[in-house]
Protein backbone atom coordinates (compact mmCIF):
# COMPACT_ATOMS: atom_id res chain seq x y z
CA UNK A 1 0.00 0.00 0.00
CA UNK A 2 1.07 3.59 -0.67
CA UNK A 3 2.09 6.10 2.01
CA UNK A 4 -0.04 8.57 3.89
CA UNK A 5 -0.04 11.90 2.04
CA UNK A 6 -0.44 15.22 3.76
CA UNK A 7 0.36 18.75 2.65
CA UNK A 8 -0.07 22.35 3.75
CA UNK A 9 2.01 25.21 5.07
CA UNK A 10 4.90 24.48 7.42
CA UNK A 11 6.65 27.49 8.87
CA UNK A 12 9.64 28.28 10.99
CA UNK A 13 8.39 28.53 14.58
CA UNK A 14 10.08 30.75 17.14
CA UNK A 15 9.07 30.10 20.75
CA UNK A 16 9.76 32.77 23.34
CA UNK A 17 9.83 32.31 27.07
CA UNK A 18 7.77 35.37 28.09
CA UNK A 19 6.24 38.60 26.74
CA UNK A 20 7.58 39.06 23.22
CA UNK A 21 7.94 42.85 23.45
CA UNK A 22 10.55 42.42 26.21
CA UNK A 23 12.89 40.56 23.87
CA UNK A 24 14.96 37.69 25.20
CA UNK A 25 15.78 34.43 23.52
CA UNK A 26 13.63 32.21 21.32
CA UNK A 27 13.84 28.53 20.47
CA UNK A 28 13.86 27.76 16.76
CA UNK A 29 11.78 24.92 15.33
CA UNK A 30 9.15 24.30 12.65
CA UNK A 31 5.36 24.08 12.87
CA UNK A 32 2.42 23.32 10.65
CA UNK A 33 -0.66 21.28 11.43
CA UNK A 34 -0.19 18.80 8.57
CA UNK A 35 3.54 18.27 9.11
CA UNK A 36 2.82 17.77 12.83
CA UNK A 37 0.53 14.90 11.81
CA UNK A 38 3.17 13.62 9.35
CA UNK A 39 5.85 13.51 12.06
CA UNK A 40 3.45 11.89 14.53
CA UNK A 41 2.67 9.12 12.04
CA UNK A 42 6.31 8.63 11.01
CA UNK A 43 7.36 8.25 14.66
CA UNK A 44 4.73 5.50 14.97
CA UNK A 45 6.36 3.69 12.05
CA UNK A 46 4.08 4.63 9.15
CA UNK A 47 5.27 5.64 5.71
CA UNK A 48 4.38 9.33 5.20
CA UNK A 49 4.83 11.90 2.46
CA UNK A 50 4.51 15.68 2.99
CA UNK A 51 4.04 17.93 -0.02
CA UNK A 52 3.98 21.62 0.84
CA UNK A 53 5.92 24.55 -0.54
CA UNK A 54 8.79 26.37 1.14
CA UNK A 55 10.90 29.33 0.02
CA UNK A 56 14.41 28.93 -1.41
CA UNK A 57 15.82 30.16 1.90
CA UNK A 58 17.43 28.89 5.10
CA UNK A 59 14.03 28.74 6.81
CA UNK A 60 12.75 26.45 4.06
CA UNK A 61 15.85 24.30 4.34
CA UNK A 62 15.17 23.97 8.08
CA UNK A 63 11.61 22.81 7.36
CA UNK A 64 12.70 20.18 4.82
CA UNK A 65 15.67 19.03 6.87
CA UNK A 66 13.51 18.60 9.99
CA UNK A 67 10.92 16.56 8.12
CA UNK A 68 13.62 14.41 6.47
CA UNK A 69 15.22 13.81 9.86
CA UNK A 70 11.84 12.58 11.09
CA UNK A 71 11.66 10.09 8.19
CA UNK A 72 8.95 12.02 6.33
CA UNK A 73 9.30 11.82 2.53
CA UNK A 74 9.60 15.37 1.11
CA UNK A 75 10.53 14.39 -2.45
CA UNK A 76 7.33 15.91 -3.86
CA UNK A 77 7.61 19.18 -1.89
CA UNK A 78 8.09 22.41 -3.85
CA UNK A 79 10.80 25.02 -3.38
CA UNK A 80 9.41 28.39 -4.53
CA UNK A 81 12.17 30.87 -5.37
CA UNK A 82 9.65 33.73 -5.58
CA UNK A 83 8.44 33.85 -1.97
CA UNK A 84 9.82 33.34 1.54
CA UNK A 85 9.03 30.54 3.96
CA UNK A 86 6.38 31.65 6.47
CA UNK A 87 7.12 32.41 10.10
CA UNK A 88 5.17 31.88 13.31
CA UNK A 89 5.95 33.26 16.77
CA UNK A 90 4.63 31.59 19.92
CA UNK A 91 4.44 33.95 22.89
CA UNK A 92 3.67 32.22 26.20
CA UNK A 93 1.96 35.25 27.75
CA UNK A 94 0.59 33.52 30.88
CA UNK A 95 1.00 29.92 32.09
CA UNK A 96 -2.50 29.25 30.73
CA UNK A 97 -2.44 31.47 27.60
CA UNK A 98 -0.11 31.46 24.60
CA UNK A 99 -0.38 34.04 21.83
CA UNK A 100 0.43 33.12 18.22
CA UNK A 101 1.70 35.72 15.75
CA UNK A 102 1.71 34.86 12.04
CA UNK A 103 4.09 36.24 9.41
CA UNK A 104 2.81 34.21 6.50
CA UNK A 105 0.89 36.35 4.03
CA UNK A 106 2.53 36.08 0.61
CA UNK A 107 4.61 33.12 1.81
CA UNK A 108 5.70 30.19 -0.36
CA UNK A 109 3.20 27.99 1.49
CA UNK A 110 0.36 30.32 0.55
CA UNK A 111 1.31 29.86 -3.14
CA UNK A 112 1.12 26.04 -3.04
CA UNK A 113 -0.21 24.80 -6.38
CA UNK A 114 -2.20 21.77 -7.56
CA UNK A 115 0.91 20.61 -9.51
CA UNK A 116 2.69 19.86 -6.24
CA UNK A 117 -0.20 17.65 -5.15
CA UNK A 118 -0.21 15.94 -8.55
CA UNK A 119 3.51 15.21 -8.15
CA UNK A 120 2.77 13.71 -4.73
CA UNK A 121 0.26 11.31 -6.28
CA UNK A 122 2.49 10.37 -9.23
CA UNK A 123 4.56 7.70 -7.48
CA UNK A 124 2.89 5.19 -5.15
CA UNK A 125 -0.58 6.80 -4.86
CA UNK A 126 -1.41 7.36 -1.19
CA UNK A 127 -3.38 4.97 0.91
CA UNK A 128 -4.73 7.88 2.97
CA UNK A 129 -4.81 11.64 2.35
CA UNK A 130 -4.98 13.98 5.34
CA UNK A 131 -6.18 17.57 4.80
CA UNK A 132 -6.85 20.40 7.20
CA UNK A 133 -9.08 23.45 6.97
CA UNK A 134 -5.98 25.63 7.30
CA UNK A 135 -4.84 24.96 3.70
CA UNK A 136 -7.89 26.39 1.86
CA UNK A 137 -7.71 29.45 4.14
CA UNK A 138 -4.26 30.36 2.78
CA UNK A 139 -5.31 31.46 -0.71
CA UNK A 140 -6.65 30.27 -4.07
CA UNK A 141 -3.57 28.14 -4.88
CA UNK A 142 -3.64 26.04 -1.69
CA UNK A 143 -7.42 25.76 -1.94
CA UNK A 144 -7.16 24.46 -5.52
CA UNK A 145 -4.37 22.10 -4.41
CA UNK A 146 -6.60 20.64 -1.70
CA UNK A 147 -9.50 20.29 -4.14
CA UNK A 148 -7.19 18.51 -6.59
CA UNK A 149 -6.23 16.14 -3.77
CA UNK A 150 -9.90 15.36 -3.10
CA UNK A 151 -10.38 14.44 -6.79
CA UNK A 152 -7.19 12.38 -7.01
CA UNK A 153 -8.02 10.59 -3.76
CA UNK A 154 -11.34 9.50 -5.22
CA UNK A 155 -9.65 8.33 -8.46
CA UNK A 156 -7.08 6.28 -6.54
CA UNK A 157 -9.41 5.05 -3.80
CA UNK A 158 -7.42 6.77 -1.02
CA UNK A 159 -9.13 7.23 2.34
CA UNK A 160 -9.69 10.96 3.01
CA UNK A 161 -9.32 12.51 6.46
CA UNK A 162 -10.19 16.17 7.12
CA UNK A 163 -9.42 18.04 10.33
CA UNK A 164 -11.53 21.21 10.29
CA UNK A 165 -8.86 23.19 12.24
CA UNK A 166 -10.64 26.55 11.90
CA UNK A 167 -8.25 29.53 12.14
CA UNK A 168 -10.29 32.74 12.52
CA UNK A 169 -7.18 34.84 11.84
CA UNK A 170 -6.98 33.41 8.31
CA UNK A 171 -10.60 33.49 7.12
CA UNK A 172 -14.15 34.06 8.30
CA UNK A 173 -16.46 31.33 9.57
CA UNK A 174 -18.85 32.10 6.71
CA UNK A 175 -16.24 31.49 3.99
CA UNK A 176 -14.84 28.46 5.82
CA UNK A 177 -18.32 26.94 6.03
CA UNK A 178 -18.90 27.49 2.31
CA UNK A 179 -15.73 25.53 1.45
CA UNK A 180 -15.81 22.82 4.13
CA UNK A 181 -19.50 22.04 3.70
CA UNK A 182 -18.85 21.28 0.01
CA UNK A 183 -15.92 19.04 0.96
CA UNK A 184 -17.62 17.06 3.74
CA UNK A 185 -19.45 14.51 1.54
CA UNK A 186 -16.06 13.53 0.01
CA UNK A 187 -14.48 12.91 3.42
CA UNK A 188 -14.25 9.48 5.11
CA UNK A 189 -12.94 10.58 8.52
CA UNK A 190 -14.02 14.05 9.65
CA UNK A 191 -12.28 15.41 12.74
CA UNK A 192 -13.29 18.62 14.52
CA UNK A 193 -13.52 20.31 17.88
CA UNK A 194 -17.08 20.57 19.16
CA UNK A 195 -17.43 24.23 18.18
CA UNK A 196 -16.04 23.56 14.67
CA UNK A 197 -18.60 20.90 13.67
CA UNK A 198 -21.19 23.43 12.38
CA UNK A 199 -18.63 24.64 9.80
CA UNK A 200 -18.97 21.34 7.94
CA UNK A 201 -22.78 21.51 7.78
CA UNK A 202 -25.40 23.64 6.01
CA UNK A 203 -26.49 26.59 8.12
CA UNK A 204 -28.82 25.55 10.91
CA UNK A 205 -28.40 21.80 10.28
CA UNK A 206 -28.16 19.79 13.50
CA UNK A 207 -29.33 21.31 16.77
CA UNK A 208 -26.66 19.64 18.91
CA UNK A 209 -23.48 17.55 18.64
CA UNK A 210 -25.32 14.24 18.05
CA UNK A 211 -27.62 15.67 15.42
CA UNK A 212 -24.65 17.27 13.63
CA UNK A 213 -22.70 14.01 13.63
CA UNK A 214 -25.76 12.12 12.36
CA UNK A 215 -26.18 14.66 9.58
CA UNK A 216 -22.56 14.15 8.51
CA UNK A 217 -22.91 10.35 8.59
CA UNK A 218 -26.01 10.62 6.40
CA UNK A 219 -24.07 12.76 3.91
CA UNK A 220 -21.46 9.99 3.48
CA UNK A 221 -18.81 10.56 6.18
CA UNK A 222 -17.92 7.18 7.75
CA UNK A 223 -16.40 8.42 11.04
CA UNK A 224 -17.11 11.71 12.79
CA UNK A 225 -14.48 12.36 15.44
CA UNK A 226 -14.89 15.15 17.99
CA UNK A 227 -11.87 16.38 19.99
CA UNK A 228 -12.89 17.53 23.47
CA UNK A 229 -9.60 18.82 24.93
CA UNK A 230 -9.11 17.71 28.54
CA UNK A 231 -12.40 15.75 28.23
CA UNK A 232 -10.89 13.39 25.66
CA UNK A 233 -12.58 12.60 22.36
CA UNK A 234 -15.49 10.73 20.86
CA UNK A 235 -16.26 9.06 17.56
CA UNK A 236 -19.62 8.46 15.94
CA UNK A 237 -20.09 5.89 13.17
CA UNK A 238 -23.07 4.00 11.75
CA UNK A 239 -22.58 1.58 14.67
CA UNK A 240 -23.02 4.21 17.38
CA UNK A 241 -20.90 6.46 19.56
CA UNK A 242 -17.75 5.76 21.60
CA UNK A 243 -16.02 8.13 24.02
CA UNK A 244 -12.56 7.99 25.61
CA UNK A 245 -11.53 10.33 28.43
CA UNK A 246 -8.23 12.17 28.14
CA UNK A 247 -5.18 10.45 29.65
CA UNK A 248 -4.14 12.23 32.85
CA UNK A 249 -0.86 14.02 32.31
CA UNK A 250 0.85 17.25 33.45
CA UNK A 251 -0.04 19.60 30.60
CA UNK A 252 2.65 22.17 29.78
CA UNK A 253 1.82 23.21 26.19
CA UNK A 254 -1.57 22.68 24.49
CA UNK A 255 -0.34 23.61 20.98
CA UNK A 256 -0.20 20.60 18.70
CA UNK A 257 -2.48 18.39 20.83
CA UNK A 258 -5.07 18.13 18.10
CA UNK A 259 -2.51 17.16 15.45
CA UNK A 260 -0.93 14.59 17.76
CA UNK A 261 -4.39 13.16 18.45
CA UNK A 262 -5.03 12.90 14.69
CA UNK A 263 -1.71 11.08 14.18
CA UNK A 264 -2.59 8.56 16.88
CA UNK A 265 -6.12 8.06 15.61
CA UNK A 266 -4.97 7.54 12.00
CA UNK A 267 -2.11 5.29 13.08
CA UNK A 268 -4.55 2.85 14.65
CA UNK A 269 -6.89 3.17 11.66
CA UNK A 270 -3.99 2.23 9.35
CA UNK A 271 -3.28 -0.74 11.61
CA UNK A 272 -6.86 -1.90 10.94
CA UNK A 273 -8.18 -1.11 14.44
CA UNK A 274 -11.80 -0.21 15.22
CA UNK A 275 -13.06 3.19 16.47
CA UNK A 276 -12.45 2.55 20.20
CA UNK A 277 -8.80 1.57 19.65
CA UNK A 278 -8.32 4.54 17.30
CA UNK A 279 -9.60 6.89 20.03
CA UNK A 280 -7.42 5.19 22.62
CA UNK A 281 -4.24 5.77 20.60
CA UNK A 282 -5.40 9.32 19.78
CA UNK A 283 -5.91 10.33 23.41
CA UNK A 284 -2.53 8.76 24.22
CA UNK A 285 -0.59 10.67 21.55
CA UNK A 286 -2.60 13.84 22.39
CA UNK A 287 -1.48 13.52 26.03
CA UNK A 288 2.17 13.10 24.95
CA UNK A 289 1.85 16.37 22.98
CA UNK A 290 0.43 18.46 25.85
CA UNK A 291 3.08 17.08 28.20
CA UNK A 292 5.94 18.45 26.08
CA UNK A 293 6.86 21.91 24.73
CA UNK A 294 6.61 22.32 20.99
CA UNK A 295 4.13 21.28 18.32
CA UNK A 296 5.50 17.82 17.56
CA UNK A 297 8.69 17.35 19.58
CA UNK A 298 6.99 15.20 22.22
CA UNK A 299 5.36 12.78 19.76
CA UNK A 300 5.95 9.17 20.86
CA UNK A 301 7.44 6.29 18.94
CA UNK A 302 5.45 3.07 19.03
CA UNK A 303 7.76 1.64 21.69
CA UNK A 304 7.21 4.73 23.88
CA UNK A 305 3.39 4.55 23.90
CA UNK A 306 3.19 2.52 27.18
CA UNK A 307 5.39 5.15 28.96
CA UNK A 308 2.35 7.32 29.59
CA UNK A 309 1.18 4.86 32.23
CA UNK A 310 4.46 5.20 34.19
CA UNK A 311 4.10 6.49 37.75
CA UNK A 312 5.48 9.86 38.77
CA UNK A 313 9.19 9.56 39.53
CA UNK A 314 9.74 6.53 37.32
CA UNK A 315 13.34 6.18 36.11
CA UNK A 316 13.94 3.72 33.31
CA UNK A 317 17.46 2.26 33.44
P1 LIG B 1 -6.98 20.98 19.48
O2 LIG B 1 -5.52 21.14 19.82
O3 LIG B 1 -7.20 20.68 18.04
O4 LIG B 1 -7.84 22.08 20.01
P5 LIG B 1 -7.79 19.32 21.73
O6 LIG B 1 -7.43 20.44 22.64
O7 LIG B 1 -9.18 18.81 21.78
O8 LIG B 1 -7.45 19.64 20.21
O9 LIG B 1 -6.77 18.15 22.04
C10 LIG B 1 -6.73 16.98 21.28
C11 LIG B 1 -6.63 15.79 22.19
O12 LIG B 1 -5.46 15.90 23.02
C13 LIG B 1 -7.81 15.66 23.15
O14 LIG B 1 -8.86 14.94 22.53
C15 LIG B 1 -7.17 14.92 24.31
O16 LIG B 1 -7.20 13.53 24.10
C17 LIG B 1 -5.73 15.41 24.31
N18 LIG B 1 -5.60 16.48 25.30
C19 LIG B 1 -5.84 17.80 25.14
N20 LIG B 1 -5.66 18.47 26.30
C21 LIG B 1 -5.29 17.56 27.23
C22 LIG B 1 -4.95 17.60 28.63
N23 LIG B 1 -4.96 18.76 29.32
N24 LIG B 1 -4.61 16.46 29.23
C25 LIG B 1 -4.57 15.29 28.57
N26 LIG B 1 -4.89 15.17 27.26
C27 LIG B 1 -5.24 16.28 26.59
O1 LIG C 1 -2.08 22.80 15.19
C2 LIG C 1 -0.93 23.54 15.51
C3 LIG C 1 -0.72 24.44 14.37
O4 LIG C 1 -1.90 25.18 14.22
C5 LIG C 1 0.27 25.49 14.46
O6 LIG C 1 1.43 25.13 15.08
C7 LIG C 1 0.58 26.18 13.19
O8 LIG C 1 -0.34 25.28 11.26
C9 LIG C 1 -0.39 26.13 12.09
C10 LIG C 1 -1.42 27.18 11.96
O11 LIG C 1 -1.62 27.57 10.83
O12 LIG C 1 -2.04 27.62 12.93
In a domain, residue 16? The reply is no
CB-facing half-sphere around the CA of 155: CA atoms within 13 A:
10
In a domain, residue 157? The reply is yes
CB 242 within 8 A of CB 275: yes
Number of domains observed in the structure of the chain? 1
**Which range of residues forms the domain containing residue 294?**
4-8+33-84+111-298
In a domain, residue 211? The reply is yes
Pocket of ligand 2 contains residue 253 by CB under 6 Å: no
In a domain, residue 288? The reply is yes
In a domain, residue 258? The reply is yes
**205 to 143, 178, 201, 210, 255: CA distances (angstroms):** 25, 14, 6, 11, 30
Pocket of ligand 1 contains residue 133 by CB under 6 Å: no
In a domain, residue 305? The reply is no
What CA–CA distance (Å, rounded) separates 99 from 95? 11
- Pairing, β 78-80 against β 233-237: unpaired
Residue nearest to atom 22 of ligand 1 (CA): 230
Q: Of the candidates 120, 190, 137, 133, which has an alpha carbon nearest to the alpha carbon of residue 161?
A: 190
Give φ, ψ of 4 to 5 degrees: -85, 135
What is the number of the ligand closest to the CA of 248? Answer: 1
Whether complex ipTM tops 0.85: yes
In a domain, residue 104? The reply is no
Q: How many CB atoms lie within 10 A of CB 203?
A: 8
The pLDDT assigned to 1 comes to 82
**316 to 129, 217, 287, 297, 312: CA distances (angstroms):** 37, 45, 20, 20, 12
Output the tens digit of pLDDT for each of the chain's 317 residues. Answer: 899 999 999 999 999 999 999 999 999 999 999 999 999 999 999 999 999 999 999 999 999 999 999 999 999 999 999 999 999 999 999 888 999 999 999 999 999 999 999 999 999 999 999 999 999 999 999 999 999 999 999 999 999 999 999 999 999 999 999 999 999 999 999 999 999 999 999 888 888 999 999 999 999 999 999 999 999 999 999 999 999 999 999 999 999 999 999 999 999 999 999 999 999 999 999 999 999 999 999 999 999 999 999 988 899 98
The pLDDT assigned to 125 comes to 93
Pocket of ligand 2 contains residue 259 by CB under 6 Å: yes
What CA–CA distance (Å, rounded) separates 217 from 237? 7
Give φ, ψ of 272 to 5 degrees: 90, 15
Residue 292's domain is classified under what CATH number? Answer: 3.40.1190.20
Active site residues: 259
Residue nearest to atom 9 of ligand 2 (CA): 32
In a domain, residue 17? The reply is no
148 CA → ligand 1 middle, Å: 30
Amino acid sequence: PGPVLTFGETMVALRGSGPLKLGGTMAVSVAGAESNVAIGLARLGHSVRWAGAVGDDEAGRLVLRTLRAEAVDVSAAAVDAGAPTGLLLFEPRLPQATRVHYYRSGSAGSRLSPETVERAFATAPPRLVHLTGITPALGPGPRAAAERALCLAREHGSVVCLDVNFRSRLWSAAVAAEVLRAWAPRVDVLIASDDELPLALPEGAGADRSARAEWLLASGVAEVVVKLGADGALVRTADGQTHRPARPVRAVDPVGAGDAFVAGYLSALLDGAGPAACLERGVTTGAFAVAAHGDWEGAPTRAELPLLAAESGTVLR
